Each structure stands twice: as structure tokens, then as C-alpha cells.
Structure 1
């Protein structure tokens, strides 16, 4: 039987949380959603006709808009996740109608930031791999400043295990041709900059269109109603939330049990490298179960907020596991972007070589993140009932 790492069903763990607590949590998240939406519009975000007054205000206003979008995403995720975990306590037609719309909104608003962060990650990795020493403050594409990184003799091609980021300096199974890598890195960086900046620009336009669309206004209207009235079932106000929260925890534990944690204990996966450099552009099949665990961990965390209240301190081990899975997701998507760029027709051999080295480096980061998660999860299950 799967071990629980953070018990949400202990009858001695304080007062029982019922459907009334769920209603209060959802009302609070809906209020935060509406507050973020108002702030976004006041600082020059999307306006009702779908256009953008981006010229309003200066850098401070732009930063506030970014924070507002982040708050919109955060509230949308929590409302959608809570509707999923506690759906037996909610009016089915209403719940099933708004939940996918909130997921659509959160995913749409996340893309622009994701592309920018991916570009910054890849360009910094290229600097590190090629031994380049960027001038402090030198721009890194359109994603942010370049930070000087330590020289890295090469990515981990099939060879010894790579236990984690702290051991990078000690494990170098192979050293690429630094000359070819340096020549190709500049062109590889320019190619990634073009591709990901274009994707980021399109994501920005898509987000603006979404925030001005009738679809979004329908979602916002439903959230506005939720801020004052939560459509619970007749029996929900007196129903204990802990069994449903415990079921979410069990789903997480079962998904973790299905992961190849033994392999993650010695994290280098040659099969992952071979697949990523193949002509197949499909997402890496080994990564999907880890992404699913990340989603289930998030749902478990939100369920804990509902049952225990958001003021309850987070389990630091649970946070460490979540951070490892975030790094896993970032490295996985970065490796896919490098592999996709390497498939660009008619690029120079040195450019393709640099992108292949970059892909291998990011797959190495994927394995290191899995190892970090495995270590964190083992600590959580020690002493579990």
C-alpha cells in the first residue's frame, strides 16, 4: 500500500473541515481573481474590446501587469484544482462547465512567461557549455540579462551517473570539441532567440486576445458569482472534506509509486538522449508520468490549503519535491526546444552540434531533477504510517 507523506485524514489533526470551509476557500480565491483582473486593467492591460493599451504607464506599470497576470493564473489554478478534488460536493453542471475554462485560461496566460524563461535558460546554458564569459548586464536574447556561469567541460553523454547539480564539477563523462561548440553556440543562440522570441510574441498576442474575448468574460462572470455564492450540494456544508483530500493524496502516492525511482537513483538515461535527438518531434514519452506527478502534487497541496487553511506552514519536504518537479518540467521543455531547433533545415553542422550538446545538457538536468525528487520523496516517506 502506498505510504502517505502528509496525512490529511488524521482525526486528531484539529477541527473537522467541512463543505463550509471549501465554500470559504473558493470565495477567497474568486475575490483574489477579480482583484487581479481589476489591477491588470487599471495598469493598461486588456480592455473590454480586446485591444491593449500597453503604452499606458512605464516599467512599473508593466511589472504590475505581470504580477496581476501571475495572480490571475494562481487563483484560476486553485479554483480549478479544488473543483476537481472536491467535485462530489459541488453542483455538477456548474462545476464541470467552469473547470476546463479556468484550465484554458491558466494555460494560455502561462505561455508567454514559459517561452521567455525557456529562452533565458537555454542561452545561459550555451554560455556555460561553451565557456563564454558574458559581460555583466549583457542582454541574453529578449528574456533577461546574462549571468556569468562557471565553465562546464561538457554535457553528460552515456556514461557514469550524475547525482545532482552539486556534483557537476566532479562528473564529466565526455568533453565536446570546445572549438566547434564555441563557433556553433553563437549561431545556435541566435536561432533559439528567433524561434522562442517569435513563440513568445505570439503567446503574448494570444493572451491579450483571450483576456478580451467573450469566452474570458463568461469565465470572469462565473467567478464573480462564485465570489458571493458557491453552488454546493445540499449535504456539502456538513460533509467532512478529509476523505476527498485523502483520495487526492492517495492518487499522488500511487503515481509516485509507478515512477522509475530506482533508475532515478542513478540519474543518467541514455535512452532519453537517443530519443530526443531522433527525427521524431513528439514529446519525450519518459517525461509524461513525471509531469502527471507534478500536477497531482499541486492538487494535493491545494487540498491541504482547503482542509487546513492557507495560513498553515507548508511542509518543507513537500516544497522541495515540488521544486524538483518544476526543474524537471523546465529542463524537459528546454531540451525539446533545443531538439526542435536542431531539426531546422539547412543549419550549419557546428550549429547542429551545439544544439545537440545543449539538448544533452538539458536531458542531464532532467535526470538530476528526478534524482532530487527521489531523495526528497524518500525523506517524506520515512516514518510515514
Structure 2
């Protein structure tokens, strides 16, 4: 297939981006998708076999290229899907509504393996850090005890024994303000290794399944149908009749307004105070569903991404870097990662018949990651407020 390029005439040259700019952006992203797909096939990523562990694949060119190709596939799929959402009035309605969920399916499926790997690495690093900590804020000690109790309740048949470790036993003895007592450190250290091994088994199994799911998806007729449509998009964008001369700015502004409204619904005043522990509310709930407070923040993360993509379209794919939006997006990514890591720790704590020390370590780990959630909310609040103050 011949390489597709942007039109030689810049559709934003007159200062107003129109449907022609959208068409050029979509063609460019479709070309990137096809390039990433070719790289993915050349690395032999679709040949099957178990995924290599992260620490053993570093430095192996084939594995690194496979990861890069999958990342680029997700990147272009997200941008195409996001643009179809924001600028859907300018595109053929049936085609757009059919493409968007397929691209979302592909991006989500390809991201599962990486998410499991990153989650495991995050949790193991946190366990290592927590096991070696000698001095912690006094509030953190209290929250750790609460997290240990949560893990004890979730541990099933060993709940009573775990609760004794987390609440009434010597593991809850309080020393000088701000200092974690030695017995508590001992319990955490004993349980940390077993907790790490349990998380390793569970998340490695999840990663293996995600790897197999991705391979099956890439070999499916569903994926080939998506790839064929993206290939057509690289040469022919199904715009409406009036789209080539329609100003894109109102639709991009609407995306920004949706983001602003969603941020306005967040408890930013609360998030402006570090260590307010709002992320730990409902921390003792036995409900395995996602944390009820996290949903609105995840939604803001998606809307921020759509706003960024809209700005890329307006600027012909060369949008200037807004450091404030970049910092806000990074904070929301950390929020998502910590939230999902906390959920994984809670899920591991529900494993039947685990030792009390293991349940205790997982409770501490859960509380630590919920504190990371709170820290990410605070970082987002700081970045967003700077953006608001700097806005004209």
C-alpha cells in the first residue's frame, strides 16, 4: 500500500481549522496505525507463546519492539476513536458509530497485558518500600491499621486471626508520635514476602490470560475488519457534505466545556488539602466493586484526553505542549494506576485461607495505594488551579 500523507495544503493556514483538518488528522493517525500493525507483525508478536517476564525482556530488541508496536497501535486507535467522538457531527453517522466501539475494544484489549505488568511492578515496589520504612507520619500508621482491618475482614475464614493482628494484638501498639513500632514493622516484613508472592501469582496469571486474549484478538475476523476499515480511512475519510468548510472550533470548545464541567463536580476544595484521607472512605467495605469515589476522577481523565486530542486536530497534529494540562493528565494517570493497584491488593486479601500476616501486609499495601490516590488528587488540584489562574 502506498504511503498516505497529509494534504500539501495546510487546512489551518488561514487560522481556522475546518473539516479538511479533521480529515488530514484522521488520515495521519490511520497511517500510524497501519505502520504500527506492520511492525507488530514483523516482530512475530502474533505467533503465540507465553509472555516474557518484564525483568527478563529488558534489552531484548524483539520484545521491546513488540511492546512499542502495541503501544503505537493503542495510541493511534485512541486518537481516531476520540476524534470520531468529538467531531461526530462532521462524519458519516453510521460509519462513525460502528468504528468507535471497535477501536475502543482493540485499545482496551491490547492494553490489558501492560496494565497487569505495571500493576504488579507498582505493588512489589510499594511492598519493598513499606517493608524498609522506619519513620512514617502518625496518620499513616492509623490508616495502615484500618487497612489491615479491612484485609482481615476480607480474608474470609481467617478474618478473626487477621483482625487480632491488625487491631487488638501487639501489631497495633503505638509508639512515639510518627514512629512505627517495631512489632508492627515485624508483622509487615513477615507478611510482605508472602503477599508479594501471592500478588505475583495472581497478576502473572492475569497477564498471561491478557496476552492470550490479545493474540486471539489480533487473529480474529473482528480485528481484521477493523484493520480493513482503518486502511480505507488512510485514503478516504467519510465526511459529511458540509464538513470540509465547517469550523472545528465550536466542537472542540464543547469538548473543553464537558471537561470543565466534570472537573467542577470534583471535590477540589477537599483535594486541595494533602492527607485528608477522603480516598479511604469506604475502605472497610466488603464490596469488591471499584471504589465508589474513583469513577468521577476516571471520567475527568477520559475527558481530558479527548480535549487534548481535539487540540491536536485544531493544530494539525502539532499542538503546542501545555505543561499544565500535561501535569494534570499525569496526575490522573497516577490516580488510575494507584486506584487499580489498591483494588488488586484488596482482591488478593480476599484469597481464602491466607495467613494473618499476609492479610495484614495486603491491608497495609491497600491503605498505601489509597494514600497514593489521595496524593494524585492533590497533584491534579494543584495543576488544574494553576491552569485556571493562568487562563486569560
Report the TM-score range of the alignment, normalised by the length of the smaller protein.
Answer: 0.7 to 0.9
Three-state SS of the structure 2 residue aligned to 1:382 is: helix
Residue 126 in structure 1 maps to residue 127 in structure 2: yes
1:65 aligned to 2:93?
no
Matched-pair contact (CA < 8 Å) for 1:129–1:152: no
Q: How does 1:50-89 map to 2 (within 5 A)?
A: 59-89=60-90
What is the match of residue 381 of structure 2? 374
Q: Is the counterpart of residue 195 in structure 1 residue 202 in structure 2?
A: yes
CA contact (8 A) 2:332 2:377 kept: yes
Instruction: Tell me by how many angstroms 1:43 deviates.
Output: 1.2
TM-score (norm 2): 0.82
The aligned counterpart of 2:25 is 25
Alignment match, 1:46: 46
Distance 1:369 1:73 in 2: 24
Match of 2:170 in 1: none
Cα offset, 1:256, TM superposition = 0.3
* SS of alignment partner, residue 275 of structure 1: coil
2:248–2:314: 8 Å Cα contact kept in structure 1?
Answer: yes
Distance 1:323 1:344, change over 3 A: same
Larger helix percent? 2
Residue aligning to 2:325: 318
Distance across 2 between alignment mates of 1:14 and 1:381: 29
Residue of structure 1 equivalent to 2:180: 175
Q: Secondary structure at the match of 1:276?
A: coil
**CA-to-partner distance for each residue in 1:233-289, whole Å, 9 max, x for gaps?**
000000000000000000000000000001101243546435234211010010000
CA distance in 2 between partners of 1:53 and 1:124 (Å): 24
Max Rg structure: 2
Partner of 2:237: 230
CA distance in 2, matches of 1:54, 1:374: 38
Q: Which residue is 1:109 aligned to? A: 110
The aligned length equals: 340
Distance in 1 (CA, whole Å) between partners of 2:221 and 2:336 is: 32
Corresponding position of 2:101: 100
Contact 1:276 1:336 in 2 (8 A): no
Q: Report what 2:140 is aligned to.
A: 156
Q: Equivalent residue for 1:256?
A: 263
Structure 1 residue 376 displacement after superposition = 0.4
| Post-superposition offset of 1:14 | 6.8
Q: Report the Cα offset of residue 31 of structure 1.
A: 0.3
Per the alignment, residue 192 of structure 2 pairs with 185
Equivalent residue in structure 1 for 2:301, among 294, 297, 304? 294
Structure-1 separation of matches of 2:347 and 2:298: 20
Q: Which of residues 234, 245, 249 in structure 2 aligns to 1:242? A: 249
* 1:106 CA displacement: 0.2
Distance 1:211 1:363 in 2: 35
| Structure 2 CA distance for aligned equivalents of residues 15 and 124 of structure 1 | 49
Please tell me the root mean square deviation across aligned C-alpha atoms, in Å: 2.3
Task: Please tell me whether the aligned partners of residues 44 and 54 of structure 1 are also in contact (alpha carbons under 8 angstroms).
Answer: no
What secondary structure is seen at the aligned counterpart in 2 of 1:357?
Answer: helix
Match of 2:35 in 1: 35
Mapped partners of 1:306, 1:289: distance in 2: 26
Distance 1:197 1:184, change over 3 A: same
The answer to whether the Cα contact below 8 Å between 1:40 and 1:64 also exists between their aligned partners in 2 is: yes
Residue 21 of structure 1 aligns to a residue in which SS? helix
Counterpart of 2:371?
364
Q: Which runs of 5+ in 1 are unaligned?
A: 1-11, 132-149, 160-171
Determine the C-alpha separation between the residues in 2 that align with 1:358 and 1:277.
Answer: 14
The residue that corresponds to 2:344 in the other structure is 337
1:220 maps to 227
1:45-67 superposed Cα distances (whole Å, 9 cap, x missing partner) = 226xxx56999x99211211110
Q: Is 1:91 paired with 2:95?
A: no
* TM-score with structure 1 setting the length: 0.84
